[in-house]
Amino acid sequence: MVSIKDVAKRANVSISAVSKTLNGYADVSEATKRKVMQAAQELNYFPNMLAKNLKHKVTKTIALIISNFEQSNVKDGVLFQTIRGVYAAAQRYQYEVVIYTRSLSEQQDKSYWQFCQENKIAGVVISGLRTTDPYFEELVNSELPCVVVDADIVGPHAGSVITDNVGAARQAVEYLIGKGHREIGMVNGHSFAAVSVHRLQGYREALEANGLSFDPGRVIEADFSEEVAYEAAEPYLREHPELTAVFISSDLMAIGFMSRCRELNVRIPEDLSIMGFDDIVLSSYTTPKLSTVRQDFTKIGYTAFEQVVNMLEHRPGGYHKILPFEIVDRETVKVQ
């Protein structure tokens, strides 16, 4: 078993310097801290410290790390609902929860392992992670229990909680097909998000299962942004006048798209049917009210935190959860 002496030897520093660094003391130089952290990570020393702390109940802190927070949109309420679920689970299982935000530059400056060790985190729920983020690859190999929201992570100590995005998108498009639509486009988020990849797959599967051809030219990306979808709507519709329906993979994008349609005198649903995804609060207040796919973001947050607790307490069962969805029939889809 690796000891603090081994870390000190690898870093070529004193045992005291290792102890002070790992316990967050301020009177240690940055150069020494870097050497100690690198040596500890190479020797996989932190998990042993964590196990010791848990055994003696020193830490019961689980972090909610929000990646790319600066790009989050408070308008859709998704982040708030996720946090609410996390806090509900923390209360039930009597764990403390702390919230951290990590930008892309911050992830590049400090490794996931180092960040968690310095903040004495026992486990992590991480939201907003892109497949291109520096933390993504680290999570796969990390010994620290972690559950990622809305991303596929496969690792011995990494789990995920995600809505059945393939099935939900497939059913959403089949809903449109069931209403008589045959010319269906798609506005997706961005290719760096696992949910976008899955929703595109579901869209394609639904078309092909119903004898309709998949045309990649009918799929555009709007970065999960209301503003980008607004700007994209006019050139997209001008290029594809044949479309009778569009599946839009987030409600916020759908709202932006519909807003531009209104300015262009494209009537929803008389001229164009719209199907959204998420069922954010605003969806029931648009004119007309948005038909969409409902995700339970509070349950997603709760389940993610619960999975981390299960890992920490060595409870049996899989740590990859796929949650159900629901089609919400409102006013933006007409029978063709």
Using the predicted structure, report yes or no on whether residue 135 has a pLDDT greater than 70: no
**Tell me, which fold does domain 4-163+299-323 have in CATH?**
Rossmann fold (3.40.50)
Q: Tell me how many helices (H) and strands (E) the chain has.
A: 13, 12
Q: What is the DSSP letter of 13?
A: S
The two tokens of residue 102 are 């990590």
pLDDT at site 72 = 57
Determine the pLDDT at residue 57. Answer: 47
Asked whether the domain spanning 165-294 has the same topology as the one spanning 4-163+299-323, the reply is yes
Choose between 260 and 137: higher pLDDT. Answer: 260
Contact 316, 252 (CB under 8 A): no
Domain ranges of the chain: 4-163+299-323, 165-294
pLDDT tens readout for residues 1-34: 677 788 889 999 988 788 777 655 667 887 888 8
**Both tokens of residue 98?**
């702390």
pTM of the model: 0.78
Average pLDDT, the chain: 86
Looking at domain 165-294, its CATH superfamily turns out to be Response regulator (3.40.50.2300)
Q: What is the mean pLDDT of residues 220-239?
A: 96
CA 249, 250, 255, 260 torsion-angle sign: negative
Token couple for 120: 């004495």
Nearest by Cα to 159 from 141, 177, 143, 146:
146
Q: Max alpha carbon distance in the chain (Å)? A: 76
What separation in angstroms does the CA of 268 have from each of 165, 172, 244, 262?
25, 17, 10, 8
Give the pLDDT band (50/70/90) at residue 191.
Answer: confident
Local confidence band at 151 (pLDDT 50, 70, 90 cut-offs): confident
Rounded to whole angstroms, how far apart are CA atoms 14 and 25? 14
Give the torsion sign (CA, 222, 146, 324, 302).
Answer: negative
Residue position matching structure tokens 């949109």: 73
What are the tens digits of pLDDT across the range 39-89? 887 786 654 444 555 454 446 889 888 876 655 556 667 888 898 899 999
Which residue, 94, 36, 101, is CA-closest to 61? 94
Residue 108 CB: number of other CB atoms within 10 A?
A: 11
For residue range 209-226, list pLDDT tens digits in order: 999 999 999 999 999 999
pLDDT at 188: 98
Q: Which of 296, 245, 294, 250 is nearest to 273 (CA)?
A: 245
Which pLDDT score is estimated for 7? 86
